[in-house]
């Protein structure tokens, strides 16, 4: 019965946590400056899939449409901005998914600890791995901006 109640609690808290952000909100920019920063919600599988499609298809169209290297260098602006944004989107999504995975792993280990099937050291390790992954994602967000 205790395990069942714990499972219900963990499941319901997982649903709540899934809708919450991993990182604190970004501070507003001073003086009404243009804000090109990416938010946590900008990093998703959907945005990364778009980025991968762009890398697989569109960048090759630009490269192939230029017969000479000199022409390609002059058309670099056609892909330098989307390239930077695409790489950023994929990196951020990987950081975010890793943090979410470590969060779920930590929750699972805490649940297993209730039935005494794991040691405290495992719980502390899982917590540290989650916190490290979350910190890496949040630091990434603080330093990334969309190129426009």
Has residue 103 been placed in a domain? yes
The range of the structural domain enclosing residue 113 comes to 1-11+89-148
**Average pLDDT of the residues in 100-129:** 92
**Mean pLDDT over each residue of the chain, to the nearest integer:** 80
Has residue 137 been placed in a domain? yes
Q: Is the pLDDT of residue 2 over 50?
A: no
Nearest to 143, CA basis, from 76, 77, 71, 95: 95
Reported as a single tens digit per residue, the pLDDT across 65-90 is 777 777 676 766 666 777 888 889 99
Has residue 144 been placed in a domain? yes
C-alpha–C-alpha distance, residues 94 and 98, integer Å:
6
Ordered DSSP codes for 126-148: HHHHHHHHHHHHHHHHHH-B---
Has residue 68 been placed in a domain? no
Coil, strand, or helix at residue 144?
coil
What pLDDT, on the 0 to 100 scale, is given for residue 62? 75
Reported as a single tens digit per residue, the pLDDT across 31-57 is 877 778 888 998 988 888 888 888 888
Has residue 139 been placed in a domain? yes
Q: Residue 95: pLDDT band by 50, 70, 90 thresholds? A: very high
Has residue 25 been placed in a domain? no
**Average pLDDT of the residues in 87-111:** 94
What pLDDT, on the 0 to 100 scale, is given for residue 19? 54
Tell me the two tokens of residue 69: 């290297």
Has residue 21 been placed in a domain? no
Reported as a single tens digit per residue, the pLDDT across 11-36 is 444 444 455 889 998 888 888 777 78
Instruction: Express as a percent the part of the chain with pLDDT over 70.
Output: 80
Has residue 96 been placed in a domain? yes
Q: What's the total number of domains in the chain?
A: 1
C-alpha–C-alpha distance, residues 140 and 68, integer Å:
37
Nearest to 147, CA basis, from 94, 103, 82, 96: 82
Q: How much is the pTM?
A: 0.75
């Amino acid at each position: 019965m205790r395990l069942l109640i714990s499972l219900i609690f963990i499941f319901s808290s997982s649903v709540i946590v899934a809708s919450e952000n991993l990182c604190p909100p970004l501070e507003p920019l001073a003086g009404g400056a243009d804000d090109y920063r990416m938010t946590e919600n900008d990093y998703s599988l959907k945005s990364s899939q778009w980025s991968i499609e762009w890398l697989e298809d569109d960048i090759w169209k630009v490269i192939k449409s230029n017969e000479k290297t000199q022409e390609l260098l002059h058309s670099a602006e056609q892909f330098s901005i989307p390239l930077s944004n695409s790489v950023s989107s994929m990196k951020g999504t990987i950081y975010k998914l890793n943090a979410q995975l470590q969060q779920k792993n930590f929750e699972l280990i805490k649940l297993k600890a209730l039935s005494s099937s794991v040691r405290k050291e495992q719980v502390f390790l899982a917590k540290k791995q989650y916190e490290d992954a979350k910190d890496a994602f949040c630091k990434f967000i603080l330093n990334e901006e969309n190129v426009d």
